[in-house]
């Protein structure tokens, strides 16, 4: 009798299992959950910077990363020279505009040559650094290194060039409380204008400020910061390493300059609660809110990055994105942006936009979610996703090809003169705990102290 029960029980179990399995197949539920797929750990190893490092006698350092992907080369010079380091508003920006022309004492027809060689040339400058970059066919690498050497050593700091800079940024794009062109960049510009008001980290130069800049101002700024020991060059792509090393020696080896300048720490900015409204003649309205951040240590940054990744890290699965877009259809995007600085205040801000009638709702959700992450632990799953995304995704991508690797190494060395920070990054991200995330939120996210900018379309 027992056996009959056993056989019957077994039969029922098999029948149930087969029914369940049939159900699964019919409904497509036989897909393994990603966490159960047994995906291997990423096998990425960060390249050893010493394998690529070259130091000229005058202290200029370069990272030469060869790769045979395609016959192209990118040469980029990183300089610790930012808009926050000048003594007078507009001086650094004027130099940046001269660098953008590509004009130097050895190359007056730079733009024409860039066109003829189908090269790409770019210059960027933020509060703490400048990058000057050329991308050319491998056959033109000698021209690129020579041209860049000329631009770095003898840019056309002439009265004609200085006068031609008329200022830029948000200061020239508003008329009182009216924004000429409502958009997200404008809202971010206004946010920075209010947060950094009167501070050396403020951005944007008015026409009046630009007019007061002299050749002497630009020359002395240039001499102080454009010096071999303050510059790092990254060369990535398909090139002959010894030939490029020689080109760098020929072009920059005899350049003597000042010592690497000491950058003084800029004063901190205390968050200040304020709301500033502007108007625009558009179909949507924009919201940017946040505050300045102090200079953070490398140990503090990972927890804050993980926290922001969960809250609003600029991707499709953040808390803000789900609440504003997925669940309510209010906006195309709502994200949080962390900007860390080395010598002065960075910022943490939230940006969103939508049809004018939903701006209030968007603001409520941003504040609600910012408060929520301060008061309650994130989930294990949220932590795991953020850590994987930052340590295996964002970090690894910096080294995807020889061009990116050269840029990453050169920029890092230019800023920190070492690779300790960069190489420790993945482990620091993986070590972040739920308590660290909550602590970071409580320490560095202050929704009750937000500076809020609204551009409202009528």
Partner 1 sequence: MRIIILFLVSMCMALTAHSQNSIYELPIQEHILDNGLRLLVIERPGDHRVECKIYTDFGSIVEEPGQLGSAHYLEHLMFKGTKTLGTSDWQAESKLIEELYAAEAELIAELNKERNTLRERGVFHGDKWTATTPKIDELRQKIAGIDLEINKLRDMGTTMRWYQAYGGTGLTATTEQEYMKFDINLPANRAELFLRMESDRMTNTIFRGFDEERMILVEQRLGDLNRLSTPYYEQMSAIVGVVHPVFWPEGYLTDFYQYTRHYEKDLYERYFVPNNTTIILIGGVKFDDMVALTEKHFARLERKPEPSETQAIEPVPNGDKRLVYRSEKLRPGVEARFLIPGVGHEDRPFVDVIMEVAQRKLEKNLSANGIAGSVSVNTRVVHTSMFGVPGSVNFEIGLGKESDLAKAESVLLKTIDELKSSLLDNELAIAKKKLRNEWLRTKLDASSLNFAVGHFEVMDSWKTLEGYMKARESASAADVKRVASTYFIDNNRTIGIVKKP
Q: Which residues bind partner 1 (CB under 8 A)?
A: 27-29, 31-35, 37, 39-40, 42-44, 69-72, 115-120, 135-137, 182-183, 282-284, 315-317, 321-322, 325-332, 354-355, 381, 384-385, 388-389, 391-394, 396-397, 399-401, 403
Q: How far is the CB of 28 from partner 1 (least distance, A)?
A: 4
Nearer to partner 1, 332 or 433 (CB): 332
H helix or E strand, kind and range, residue 274: strand 274-280
> Residue 440 Cβ, how far from partner 1 at the closest point, in Å?
20
Residue 145 or 391 having the CB closest to partner 1: 391
We find the least distance from the C-beta atom of residue 425 to partner 1, in angstroms, to be 14
Nearer to partner 1, 216 or 393 (CB): 393
CB of 337 to partner 1, least distance (A): 17
3-state secondary structure of 313: coil
Cite the DSSP H helix spans in 165-211: 184-195, 207-211
- To the nearest 10 degrees (0 to 180), the angle between helices 420-430 and 301-312 is 60
Sheet bearing 120-125, strands edge to edge: 53-55, 61-66, 231-237, 72-79, 130-137, 120-125
Degrees, nearest 5: CA angle 390-395-398: 145
Residue 275: CB minimum distance to partner 1, A: 23
Q: Which is nearer to partner 1, 95 or 362 (CB)?
A: 362
Q: State in angstroms the smallest separation of the CB of 199 from partner 1.
A: 31
* C-beta of 49 vs 346, nearer to partner 1: 49
Give CA separation, 452 vs 143, 339, 366, 425, 446, in Å. 48, 17, 11, 32, 12
Take residue 292 and report the two structure tokens written for it: 């300045």
Please name the residue ranges forming H helices in 134-206.
Answer: 141-153, 159-164, 184-195
137 or 173: CB nearest partner 1: 137
- The SS3 of residue 212 is coil
């Amino acid at each position: 009798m027992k056996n009959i029960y056993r056989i019957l029980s077994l039969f029922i179990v098999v029948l149930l299992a087969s029914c369940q399995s049939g159900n699964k197949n019919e409904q497509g539920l036989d897909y393994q959950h990603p966490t159960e797929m047994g995906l291997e750990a990423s096998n990425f190893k960060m390249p050893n910077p010493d394998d690529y490092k070259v130091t000229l006698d005058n202290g200029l350092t370069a990272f030469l990363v060869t790769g045979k992907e395609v016959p192209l080369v990118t040469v980029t010079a990183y300089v610790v020279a930012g808009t926050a380091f000048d003594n007078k508003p507009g001086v650094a920006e004027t130099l940046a505009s001269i660098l953008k022309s590509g004009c130097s004492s050895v190359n007056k027809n730079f733009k024409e040559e860039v066109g003829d060689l189908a090269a790409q040339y770019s210059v960027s400058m933020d509060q703490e650094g400048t990058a000057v970059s050329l991308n050319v066919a491998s056959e033109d690498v000698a021209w690129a290194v020579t041209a860049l050497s000329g631009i770095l050593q003898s840019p056309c700091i002439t009265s004609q060039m200085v006068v031609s800079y008329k200022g830029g940024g948000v200061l020239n794009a508003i008329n009182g409380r009216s924004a000429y062109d409502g958009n997200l960049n404008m809202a971010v510009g206004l946010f920075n204008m209010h947060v950094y008001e009167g501070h050396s980290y403020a951005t944007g130069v008015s026409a009046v400020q630009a007019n007061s800049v002299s050749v002497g101002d630009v020359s002395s700024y240039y001499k102080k910061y454009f010096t071999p020991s303050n510059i790092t060059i990254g060369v990535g792509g398909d090139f002959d390493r010894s030939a490029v090393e020689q080109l760098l020696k020929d072009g920059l080896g005899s350049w003597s300059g000042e010592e690497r300048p000491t950058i003084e720490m800029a004063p901190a900015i205390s968050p200040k609660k304020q709301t500033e409204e502007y108007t625009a003649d558009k179909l949507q309205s924009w919201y940017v809110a946040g505050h300045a951040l102090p200079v953070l240590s490398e140990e503090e940054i990972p927890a804050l990055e993980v926290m922001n990744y969960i809250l609003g890290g600029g991707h499709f699965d953040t808390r803000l994105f789900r609440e504003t877009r997925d669940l309510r259809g209010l906006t195309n995007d709502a994200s949080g942006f962390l900007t860390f600085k080395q010598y002065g205040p960075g910022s943490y801000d939230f940006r969103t936009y939508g049809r004018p009638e939903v701006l209030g709702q968007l603001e409520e959700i941003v504040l609600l979610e910012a408060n929520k992450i301060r008061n309650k632990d994130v989930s294990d799953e949220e932590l795991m996703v953020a850590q994987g995304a930052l340590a295996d995704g964002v970090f690894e991508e910096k080294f995807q090809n020889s061009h990116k690797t050269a840029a990453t190494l050169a920029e890092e060395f230019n800023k920190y003169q070492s690779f300790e920070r960069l190489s420790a990054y993945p482990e620091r991200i993986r070590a972040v705990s739920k308590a660290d995330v909550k602590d970071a939120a409580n320490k560095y996210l202050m929704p009750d102290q937000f500076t809020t900018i609204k551009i409202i379309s009528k």
